[in-house]
């Protein structure tokens, strides 16, 4: 299970990078459409192999608030923005920047919807932030040095 959790992370980064390549070839919006078409096909196949399909007629689709259906729209925004930014920034920093703001907004959402405030996540997030900043500064210095060397 631990291995599968790590592989899930690998899938996220790989899919982002491949999507950015596709976007460079056929356009960002066009790439996003293909991303969602292929994703839809895979989702349907997974449903067919799961036990969920049998209970589909018993689900009440209006019992969910309408705005929860907007996740797909937000997903489109994420894929479009990711395809735009991936070629412009290192994969490592993209991953960590996304993580930091995701954690921050996640903490805020948890606080306002569930009234939970996790100190452990704040401390952990802070440590990740320190490590990220240190490496970012290191990169900046290297870039400066290479400019001096080329002069």
Partner 1 sequence: MNNLVSALIGALIAVMIMLNGTLSNVLGNYIATIIIHIVGLIAITFVLLVSKQKFIINKGTPFYLYSAGGIGVFAVLFNNLTFNSLGISLSLALGLLGQTITSIIIDHFGLLGMKVMKYQKKKLIGLVFIVLGIAVMAVF
Pick out residues in 15-44 that bind partner 1 (CB under 8 A). 15-22, 24-27, 29-30, 32-44
Smallest separation (angstroms) from partner 1 to the CB of 128: 4
**Of 18 and 144, CB closest to partner 1:** 18
Smallest separation (angstroms) from partner 1 to the CB of 148: 17
**Of 39 and 144, CB closest to partner 1:** 39
Please say whether the beta carbons of 91 and 17 come within 8 A: yes
CA quadruple 58, 64, 67, 69: dihedral, nearest 10: -20
Does the footprint of partner 1 cover residue 119 (CB under 8 A)?
yes
**Of 11 and 151, CB closest to partner 1:** 11
Smallest separation (angstroms) from partner 1 to the CB of 151: 21
Q: Which of 64, 111, 116, 145 binds partner 1 (CB under 8 A)?
A: 64
Does the footprint of partner 1 cover residue 88 (CB under 8 A)?
yes
Please say whether the beta carbons of 65 and 86 come within 8 A: no
Does the footprint of partner 1 cover residue 116 (CB under 8 A)?
no
Contacts 24+ apart (CB under 8 A), 34-43: 35/79, 36/75, 36/76, 36/79
């Amino acid at each position: 299970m631990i291995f599968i959790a790590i592989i899930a992370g690998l899938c996220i980064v790989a899919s982002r990078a491949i999507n950015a390549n596709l976007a460079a070839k056929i356009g960002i919006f066009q790439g996003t459409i293909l991303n969602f078409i292929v994703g839809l096909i895979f989702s349907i196949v997974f449903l067919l192999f799961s036990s969920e399909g049998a209970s589909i007629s018993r689900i009440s689709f209006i019992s969910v608030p309408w705005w929860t259906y907007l996740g797909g729209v937000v997903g489109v925004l994420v894929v479009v923005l990711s395809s735009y930014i991936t070629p412009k920034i290192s994969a490592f920093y993209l991953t960590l920047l996304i993580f930091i703001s995701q954690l921050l907004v996640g903490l805020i959402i948890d606080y306002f919807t569930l009234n939970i405030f996790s100190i452990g996540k704040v401390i952990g997030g802070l440590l990740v932030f320190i490590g990220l900043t240190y490496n970012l500064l290191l990169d900046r210095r290297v870039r400066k040095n290479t400019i001096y060397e080329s002069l």
